[in-house]
Structure 1
């Protein structure tokens, strides 16, 4: 596990964004952990997570022209990431969408810079892929090209119901459907590696078996 990935998992745990216990996911699964990017809700934490997003994008070597943040969580994440990129010498424009079209002023559903060139979609996680699909449609409709999705945590879970699980994760399905990479700051393997480390403390290592079992049941290779 890279230093950046280790640092991100530790940061998410300390910020209370990554929690362990007994949770129900959007798919209705009982999960031993839960990641809620909405809890990056103060200036310091938002600034720090933006640093992780920006560095992950830079380290990928991906060529891109701008960022797009899908409503609602993606709006703040894309804006903060644009600020962090600029501070690292990569000033790029960003845009986001509103759920309902504005019927006065500039009108429309897109706010910010004009969608053009190679666009990176910035979001927190990918569950069903609905947000990505809607973003891809908007970007293409504007004549621009979606070139990647950038997320915080890849849960590496196969989609579908328990008796009909897909061979692919939601992230892999999105990548295959749109022919573009999905970049993540960290993933489920990084999470498990972190809590398996004795240095994480007994409070976290107690969840190692539960997380490993969850990965065994729902995870992709």
Structure 2
């Protein structure tokens, strides 16, 4: 695992974005861990987060026109990422994000920011069953002139989707796009093993992996 990815896991643990317990996910599955990006609440932390996303985009070396954030959690991630790209790499990118409710007054519409065109990279926090990402893709595909080239996430839980296969693989095949992530659950397990920390949580994660994770 690359050094900057290890730093990302350490950062997630330090800020208690990654926590362990008994959780019910949006997909209605039980989970022994939870990844809650909404806990970021300071400019410093958001900028640090943005630098990790920016680093991931640089490593992917993708050609794109617009970065798109998924309402609601994806919006601050998106903004911190475009700022980090400009400040750290001097790359100025255009961005947009969606409203969950269509605005019926003023400029109206569901999209905020730059006009959607060309190659799009979607920015979000996590994938479990893939439901939220599918909803966003459907919004974007109303514009026939765009191409969703990649979806960048912080964490891929690497769990089965609606069928007995990766949720990630199901979406990639259905919508002809690529899903990338800064880390996945196997990276977290490897990190805890090598650091020899949180042995109880590691045991629980390993058990969960056998049930839901390929």
Q: TM-score, normalised by structure 2?
A: 0.92
2:169 maps to: 172
Tell me the alpha carbon deviations over residues 71-123 of structure 1, each in whole angstroms, 9 at most, x when there is no partner: 11111111111111112122111001112222332211111001011110111
Ranges in structure 2 where 5+ consecutive residues have no aligned partner: none
Ranges in structure 1 where 5+ consecutive residues have no aligned partner: 161-165
1:45 maps to: 45
2:146 maps to: 144
Shift in CA distance, 27/138, structure 1 to aligned 2, threshold 3 Å: closer
Q: How does 1:12-51 map to 2 (within 5 A)?
A: 12-51=12-51
2:155 maps to: 153
SS for the counterpart of 2:136 is: helix
Q: Are 2:166 and 1:184 equivalent residues in the alignment?
A: no
1: CA distance between counterparts of 2:59 and 2:3?
A: 13
Alpha-carbon RMSD? 1.6
1: CA distance between counterparts of 2:147 and 2:90?
A: 23
2: CA distance between counterparts of 1:213 and 1:60?
A: 32
1:107 maps to: 108
SS for the counterpart of 1:52 is: helix
SS for the counterpart of 2:77 is: helix
8 Å CA contact 1:57–1:183 kept in 2: the answer is no
2: CA distance between counterparts of 1:167 and 1:194?
A: 27
